Amino acid sequence: MVSCETSKRDRASEGPAVAESSRSLASAETIEAPRSLLGEAGSSAAKVRQSAQRRVALVEGSGAHLSVETRDLLRRRLRIVALLLFTGLSVFAIWSLVMSLVDPRWPLASTLFGAHLAVTALLGVLATRLCGRCDLSLTKLRVFEALIFGAPALFFILMNYERLSVAAALANDYPHVPEIVSGWMLLIFCYAMFIPNTWQRAAAAIGLLAAAPAIVNGVAYVACPDFRALMHAEAFRGALTEQGLKMALAAMAGIVGVHTIGALRREAFVAKQLGQYRLKKLLGSGGMGEVYLAEHQMMKRPCAVKIIRPEKAGDPQVLARFEREVRATAKLSHWNTIDIYDYGRTPDGTFYYVMEFLPGHNLGELVDGHGPLPASRIVYLMRQVCDALAEAHGQGLVHRDIKPANIYCAYRGGMFDVAKLLDFGLAKPLADVAAMDDGLTQEGSITGSPLYMSPEQAASDQVDARSDVYSLGAVMYYMATGRPPFVYPHPMKVMIAHASEDPDPPRYVNADLPVELEEIILRSLEKRPSDRFQSVAELRDALDSVPVDAEWNARLAASWWHDFGCPQRKALVAEAMEMAAA
């Protein structure tokens, strides 16, 4: 989602590594790991420990700065450039070798030719490593970019200096200033045409390439007396100026080209349409796909469109979960559950569904940016979430992935702090939870987010609505203290703690918390489901009885949003309202 820089609470009591791990896990994708690795005997804690020993693979969050689509585009473009340069240098290497064999007068400097072959081989290796099956991070792609353009640049420097010194030394065979800018122009235009970039970053890279011939000429002028003497000759007095002007024009054309291509790409992005929905802006991305702010072309209604990633489209497990999320959420009509408007598949195979656009913050962003919430606000928000879950549980659905990122404090119907429950992608009917036979996850799998996962879910035991009660307790603990109940650097340790450790009482961290709310949180976090609230309705009734100094309401929520709301989010709300009014 749209990021907002806000002041962070001091969390020095948590070690830096642990704090960083907690933030990473808080935004982690849902875990799905085979239960077959857990074993069958022993308590929940023993099962989880055994799974840790057998190294259950977990999917943790990612902090990539570019979307998967953009990184894949950069990878493909880099591979094209590497192949083009590899092909061109290979042709010239073969031509040079053949000419040296048929014409004894043809010079073939062993050092220069060796560098030629080395750079050609390196480009071939890099092109191979940039295959479609390789999932490379942005950092690695930038390293590939530097090698693909840097290696030929170093070779051109060596070749240009060699040509300048040899041409200047031709005393009786027409000494001259050779043309050395063509190779650099090739690199500049390859960079401008193929590498997706901002014009500022492109200007830095292209500027270095454009300056290289002048640097080579300068070195040759200092180190080569013949070249220096040639530059003072009347016939060649303007040669270097001419080269400089050519490179300056090439650099300007390249930078303007990058800016123009970037603008066209942005326009193409804005023009993307899925049926009647025009995509306006990327809001965020996750393990399943990407979410865009969009509008319905006929009704001019702002909405959010979730698109499944192209590389996931061939995975029946992913598609099944995607469709299940739509079906499960579409069955629900409560005000505090996100609304699903539409679902479809484009002719090119892209899956998508359309939901209401939620201006606001999720609980994770809210607490991370502003610290623990007052008790009155916790009660106000969690009562709404309990109401939404009550409808889902009444229809036999267990959410199984309740976490701060899946609870939104939104602006809806003219009111702020409207709680919205999201992401029913792991929701299952109770009968299917017991039978585990719907085929939409791996047989007997661990599913959920480790920081807020119930002990029975961590052990992949049979779960019911009381598992969601535990997750709500973990979320309330986070809202009250600013940290999850258990904080460890590895998700498996967190899952073990859920099954075997007692959390610190919330009032140890936040002494202002009412005792009654602390008791509700700790009861929700009981290890045995029978010791918890037996339904979200019971939990809501308990929240109604919590004494607070000043009850939170829509007026206080509006005042908070006005004073502390993220400026970027406010701008996004204004944009959505403008779309609706257009």
Take residue 493 and report the two structure tokens written for it. Answer: 């340790």
- Say how many Å lie between the first and final Cα of the chain, rounded: 24
Residue 304 and residue 575 in contact, taking contact as beta carbons nearer than 8 Å: no
Average per-residue pLDDT for the chain: 78
Q: How far apart are CA 516 and CA 364, in angstroms?
A: 24
Take residue 302 and report the two structure tokens written for it. Answer: 């702002």
| Angle at which helices 515-524 and 536-544 cross, to 10° | 170
Is the model more confident about 274 or about 18? 274
Estimate to the nearest angstrom the gap between the alpha carbon of 242 and the chain centroid: 46
* Predicted confidence (pLDDT) at residue 164 exceeds the cutoff of 50: yes
Instruction: Check residue 269 and give its pLDDT.
Output: 54
- When pLDDT is averaged across residues 99-108 and rounded to a whole number, the result is 72
Q: How far apart are CA 144 and CA 542, in angstroms?
A: 58
- When pLDDT is averaged across residues 448-453 and rounded to a whole number, the result is 82
In the chain, where the domains are located: 65-270, 273-356, 360-427+450-581
Q: Residues 118-123: contacts with CB within 8 Å, 24+ apart? A: 119/89, 119/151, 119/152, 119/154, 119/155, 120/86, 120/89, 120/90, 120/93, 122/147, 122/151, 123/82, 123/83, 123/85, 123/86, 123/89, 123/148, 123/151, 123/152
Beta carbons within 10 angstroms of residue 83's beta carbon: 16
- Vertex 43: Cα angle to 40 and 44 (nearest 5): 85
**pLDDT band at 96; cut points 50, 70, 90:** confident
Residues with Cβ within 8 Å of residue 399, at least 6 apart in sequence: 389, 392, 421, 424, 426, 427, 468, 471
> Tokens 């200092």 correspond to what residue?
222
Instruction: Check residue 348 and give its pLDDT.
Output: 59
- When pLDDT is averaged across residues 352-366 and rounded to a whole number, the result is 88
**pLDDT band at 570; cut points 50, 70, 90:** confident
Task: Summarize pLDDT for 400-438 with one digit per residue, the tens.
Answer: 889 998 999 998 888 899 999 987 755 555 444 443 333
In the residue annotation, 432 being an active-site residue is answered as no
Residue 521 and residue 473 in contact, taking contact as beta carbons nearer than 8 Å: yes
For residue 491, give the nearest of 5, 14, 56 by alpha carbon: 56
* Predicted confidence (pLDDT) at residue 58 exceeds the cutoff of 70: no
Q: How far apart are CA 403 and CA 471, in angstroms?
A: 7
* Predicted confidence (pLDDT) at residue 5 exceeds the cutoff of 70: no
Homologous superfamily (CATH) of 273-356 is Phosphorylase Kinase; domain 1 (3.30.200.20)
Q: How far apart are CA 61 and CA 72, in angstroms?
A: 19
Instruction: Check residue 73 and give its pLDDT.
Output: 80
**pLDDT band at 180; cut points 50, 70, 90:** confident
DSSP code at position 237: T
DSSP string, 396-430: TEE-----GGGEEEEEETTEEEEEEE---TT-EEH
Residue 187 and residue 209 in contact, taking contact as beta carbons nearer than 8 Å: yes
Q: Please tell me which residue in 72, 368, 387, 401 is annotated as part of the active site.
A: 401
Q: Which segments within 297-348 are labelled E, that is strand?
A: 302-308, 340-345
Instruction: Check residue 97 and give its pLDDT.
Output: 84
Instruction: Check residue 481 and give its pLDDT.
Output: 95
- When pLDDT is averaged across residues 39-47 and rounded to a whole number, the result is 45
Is the model more confident about 208 or about 331? 208
Q: Which of 66-75, 314-323, 369-378 has the highest mean pLDDT?
A: 369-378
**pLDDT band at 268; cut points 50, 70, 90:** low
**pLDDT band at 107; cut points 50, 70, 90:** low
* Predicted confidence (pLDDT) at residue 315 exceeds the cutoff of 70: no
Instruction: Check residue 425 and give its pLDDT.
Output: 55
Residue 499 and residue 43 in contact, taking contact as beta carbons nearer than 8 Å: yes
Among the four given CATH numbers 2.40.10.120, 1.10.1450.10, 1.10.510.10, 3.40.50.10860, the one describing domain 360-427+450-581: 1.10.510.10
* Predicted confidence (pLDDT) at residue 372 exceeds the cutoff of 90: yes
Task: Summarize pLDDT for 508-535 with one digit per residue, the tens.
Answer: 999 999 999 999 999 999 999 999 999 9
Take residue 127 and report the two structure tokens written for it. Answer: 């092109």
Estimate to the nearest angstrom the gap between the alpha carbon of 211 and the chain centroid: 35
Lowest mean pLDDT, pick from 8-12, 230-234, 245-249, 315-319: 8-12
- When pLDDT is averaged across residues 289-302 and rounded to a whole number, the result is 83
Share of the chain above pLDDT 70, in %: 74
Q: Are strands 351-356 and 273-274 parallel, antiparallel or unpaired?
A: unpaired
